[in-house]
Amino acid sequence: MSLQITTTRAMIQINIIDGKMSIRQPRGEQNIHTTMPKVRIESEKPKVIIDQSQCFAEAGLKNYLELTREAARVGRQRVLEGIARIAEDGDRMAQIENGMPPAIPELAEKNVWEELDYNIDFIPKSRPKIDVKGSLKIDWELGKVNIDYKVNKPIINFQRGKVEIYLKQKPSIKIRYIDVKV
């Protein structure tokens, strides 16, 4: 008597479906609003005024009003000096009767020779008066830059993966009796 035993092993099958993920990033949105700066410039052309009248006056170049005043002052001074000289000469002549030496030759000699006065001077002594009139006015307004930015979130798609396990072949044991005749 004999037995035949046949076994079949169990077999499993594993199917794997990979997970999938996609990420898409939309660009952010940006808006820029600009206000331009403003500059205003106002100017008055410069005028240079040079007054040299004092310098000219010191050099003897005077206007008619100053020249008239100066001539009147000098004339008055000379008249007073002349009156004083004549009075002095008269007093000197009056002293002849007191036994003084004769005054006429002495006065004649004094009046013949004019006394000259020499001076060296540098003119002008004053500086000219210089005045500059004019203006420059600058006003400005600052500009502005406004930036608005919107961040867009990423778009993520995800599919889960799968793992499928199943029994492809069931295990089995077959036992058979074989009748063998001898």
- Is the pLDDT at 57 greater than 90? The verdict is no
Range 68-79 average pLDDT: 93
- Is the pLDDT at 116 greater than 80? The verdict is no
Query: What is the model's pLDDT at position 1?
Result: 63
Most confident among 10-14, 58-62, 102-106 (mean pLDDT): 10-14
Query: What is the model's pLDDT at position 34?
Result: 94
Neighbouring-strand partners of residue 38:
141
- Is the pLDDT at 156 greater than 90? The verdict is yes
For residue range 85-98, list pLDDT tens digits in order.
889 888 888 777 77
Q: Pick the closest to residue 8 from 152, 181, 169, 135 (CA basis).
A: 169
Range 163-173 average pLDDT: 92
Across 69-170, the runs of DSSP E, i.e. the strands, are 129-141, 144-150, 155-159, 162-169
Provide the whole-model pTM.
0.37
- Is the pLDDT at 29 greater than 80? The verdict is yes
Query: What is the model's pLDDT at position 76?
Result: 96
| Average pLDDT score over the chain | 88
Does a cis peptide bond (omega within 30 degrees of 0) precede residue 124? yes
The domain limits of the chain are 60-122
